[in-house]
């Protein structure tokens, strides 16, 4: 019985360790859509970002608090992966800080 309990506990821990949240974000004429994303603390976050407009300043995305900056080629999906470790707001947007960005609400 003890070994069964241990297996269940280990399975629960490994399941929690691989929990992740994935969101598709598009760069359009309106900015980053959706511009508001809610996520859980301690779970891996995957943002799949696709730039859908050719003329834009959002040819790069930045998540300043996470020290992330990536190129956004036209019509190609770029994934950003990180784990938010504290509650609050994480801002993201174009690297030039001109394009309407978004906010990730960490609960």
| 67-86 pLDDT tens trace | 999 999 999 999 999 999 99
pLDDT range class, residue 95, cuts 50, 70, 90: confident
Token pair of 12 as six digits? 């629960």
User: The domain containing residue 98 runs over which residues?
Assistant: 20-106
pLDDT range class, residue 89, cuts 50, 70, 90: very high
Would 12 be classed as within a structural domain? no
Residue 53: its pLDDT value, please?
95
Residue 97: its pLDDT value, please?
72
| Cβ partners under 8 Å of residue 67, min gap 6 | none
Would 43 be classed as within a structural domain? yes
Would 45 be classed as within a structural domain? yes
Would 13 be classed as within a structural domain? no
Under 8 Å between Cβ of 91 and 103: yes
Number of domains in the chain: 1
CATH number of the domain at 38, please.
2.60.40.420
Q: Is the whole-model pTM more than 0.75?
A: yes
Residue 18: its pLDDT value, please?
64
């Amino acid at each position: 019985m003890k070994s069964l309990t241990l297996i269940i506990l280990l399975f629960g821990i490994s399941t929690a360790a691989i929990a992740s949240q994935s969101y598709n974000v598009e760069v359009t004429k309106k900015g980053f859509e959706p511009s508001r994303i809610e996520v859980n603390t301690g779970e891996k976050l995957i943002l799949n970002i696709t730039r859908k407009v050719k003329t834009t300043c959002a040819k790069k995305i930045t998540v300043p608090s996470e020290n992330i900056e990536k190129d956004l080629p036209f019509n190609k999906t770029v994934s950003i992966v990180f784990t938010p470790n504290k509650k609050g707001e994480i801002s993201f947007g174009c690297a030039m800080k001109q394009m309407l960005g978004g906010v990730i609400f960490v609960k």
